[in-house]
Amino acid sequence: MPVVPEPPSEVGATIPAHTPHGVSVMFPKWEHNVLYEEGHPSVISKMETGYPRFFVNLFIQERLLAKHGKPTEAAFLYPSRKIADRCREFMKQYYAPAQEENLIRIAEVVVAPIDEKMGMRTVPVFMVLFPQDAFPVAKQFWQHTGDIFSSRCAEYCLHILDKNEQHKASHAQEKPRRASRYAKPTGPKSPTQEEESDHAVYVEERYGRNLPLQFADQAKVVLRRRIAGLLSGKQTTIEDVNKATHDELEEQRKVHGERGMLGLSEDDVYLFPSGMGAIYHAHRVARALLPDERKSVCFGFPYTDTLKILQKWGSGCYFYGLGEDKDLDDFEAKLAGGERVLSLFCELPSNPLLKSPDLARIRRLADQYDFLVVVDETIGNFVNVDTLTHADIVVSSLTKIFSGDCNVMGGSMVLNPTRKYYRAIQEFLQADFEDIVWCEDALFVERNSRNFKERAITINENAEALCDYLHAHPKVDRVFYPKFICRQHYDAVKKSDGGYGGLLSIVLKDEKAAQQFYDHLHCAKGPSLGTNFTLASPYTILAHYTELDWAEQYGVSRHLVRVSVGLEDRDHLLSLFESALNAVDEE
């Protein structure tokens, strides 16, 4: 089991500490979250990193923009021409001044080593260039779609550019532009710099994670089999896959596997650079297969970008923010009255209220009225719940508990081979799907996920014990957790040996109490979830700061604190929360 790292204490520090590609950032006080949302320099200037769909690393963009752009332009980088084209189309729709084609342009840049002896691969980069005032619109596309340019790929490109400059200067001694695992600064270091650099390398490469990039294709095969639930106890690594015979693989396809579905194979699993990427492309699938004038349905209060995708691409959506049985009654009445919909998107359970919809009923309605069902299983995860039986497509963020280490992004889409539109979805994806997962990211997700099931079980047990404690505590007004919220619908899809997951939300009596509790909670505090360590955030502040009243009408309190439980010793974990609750009303 992974060692749980000590959380950083400084605002803006990377979570985990000293991790070059950490996907969370430390906001130790409640006010830091507010200042971040308001763009205050006291927080923004200290941020070493952030969640990659929101915090854009500008090193490589500034480097290429200086060479290929104009002084009045900004840019986003993408790993394929198709994505760049979709970004430009989105911007032409939502950026009002964009009346002329040449205001938003695409430049293809090939980042290639000029010396073959470097032993590095060529990386195509597609720059979407646009007027600087269009940056907020461009960022919406980056954030919502999740088709992002990997930070590790950016680091790799920077290393190539640095090496090329050094080569052109005849190997003259000069300091590289930035430190990385690929290119370390020349010249003397202070003891602190040396110590932090060594620690960063240790965190990134422990347990042999510095595998050569040529293993990436095999890593993706392993990932797809693991996500399909097909790996046997013996076949769990890249090395084992290389040794597997054709007959052994065929035997795997004849069993039900972890997901309990006969006929499911790795060919039904598609990988994306983020979980939101999987959701965005599931919506593209639905729009391609069914009449696009139909609206989608967002059932239950979802993670914010899911709703934005359904609203901004296509004909809009019906939003059932409470996600309760009475909403299904209304939806069924709408269908019975002749309304036709494209698809229904839901989470099981939802984020941050941990509600579960009646999936069996939704499936019956989908079969009767001909629409697709897309379920986000990120929070429940297939160790605990079987959502695929009721869905056409299941999506998940591999960034979360599947990886656990909080140092790599990834997403997956799984097709149900027993559903009506299965062949049509396959045919569409065969023509449309692009494998844009950066090779090194695939290696990290594969390595991180080898003990996914064991970690998930421990986190289940820790979270349930913590929730039982919080549920009985007099200073806690409400605990949102599948054991206490919509339990009958969660239990209907819960596996016999599954648990209730690792995510919970709590509401205290008022915002002052929530702030006191949060400020005194000694754990990692920042965005994301599903980490091997406990991670807390004032979720509504971070996700809905500009629409707090809107969120509140769906039961999402502005002073809600969301907690993702980790692998800490259970008694230690409970003591952390006891101390934080003891601090409430003492100031």
Checking if the pLDDT of 434 tops 70, the result is: yes
53, two tokens: 């769909």
What domains sit in the chain, N to C, each tagged with a CATH number? 13-49+452-583 (3.90.1150.10), 58-148 (3.30.70), 214-449 (3.40.640.10)
Q: What is the identity of the amino acid at 225?
A: R
Per-residue pLDDT reduced to its tens digit, 503-546: 999 999 999 999 999 999 999 999 999 999 999 999 999 999 99
> Is the CB of residue 227 less than 8 Å from the CB of residue 414?
yes
Checking if the pLDDT of 324 tops 60, the result is: yes
Per-residue pLDDT reduced to its tens digit, 339-369: 999 999 999 999 999 999 999 999 999 999 9
pTM of the model: 0.89
Question: What are the residues facing 294 on neighbouring strands?
Answer: none
- Whose CA is closest to 400, among 581, 288, 562, 583? 562
Task: Determine the pLDDT at residue 566.
Answer: 97
Q: What is the identity of the amino acid at 157?
A: C
Checking if the pLDDT of 185 tops 60, the result is: no
> Is the CB of residue 402 less than 8 Å from the CB of residue 530?
yes
Checking if the pLDDT of 187 tops 60, the result is: no
Confidence of residue 294 (pLDDT cuts 50, 70, 90): very high
In whole angstroms, give the CA distance from residue 514 to residue 511: 5
In whole angstroms, give the CA distance from residue 471 to residue 460: 16
Confidence of residue 247 (pLDDT cuts 50, 70, 90): low
In whole angstroms, give the CA distance from residue 500 to residue 357: 15
Whether a cis peptide bond, with omega within 30° of 0, leads into 417 is no
In whole angstroms, give the CA distance from residue 392 to residue 493: 15
- Per-residue DSSP letter, 545: G
Which three-class secondary structure state does DSSP give residue 424?
A: helix
Per-residue pLDDT reduced to its tens digit, 467-505: 999 999 999 999 999 999 999 999 999 999 999 999 999
Checking if the pLDDT of 269 tops 70, the result is: yes
Confidence of residue 117 (pLDDT cuts 50, 70, 90): confident
Per-residue pLDDT reduced to its tens digit, 81-91: 999 999 999 99
Checking if the pLDDT of 152 tops 60, the result is: yes
Task: Determine the pLDDT at residue 381.
Answer: 96
- Whose CA is closest to 288, among 426, 160, 403, 387? 426
Task: Determine the pLDDT at residue 114.
Answer: 86
Per-residue pLDDT reduced to its tens digit, 132-148: 999 999 999 999 999 99
Question: What are the residues facing 395 on neighbouring strands?
Answer: 376, 413
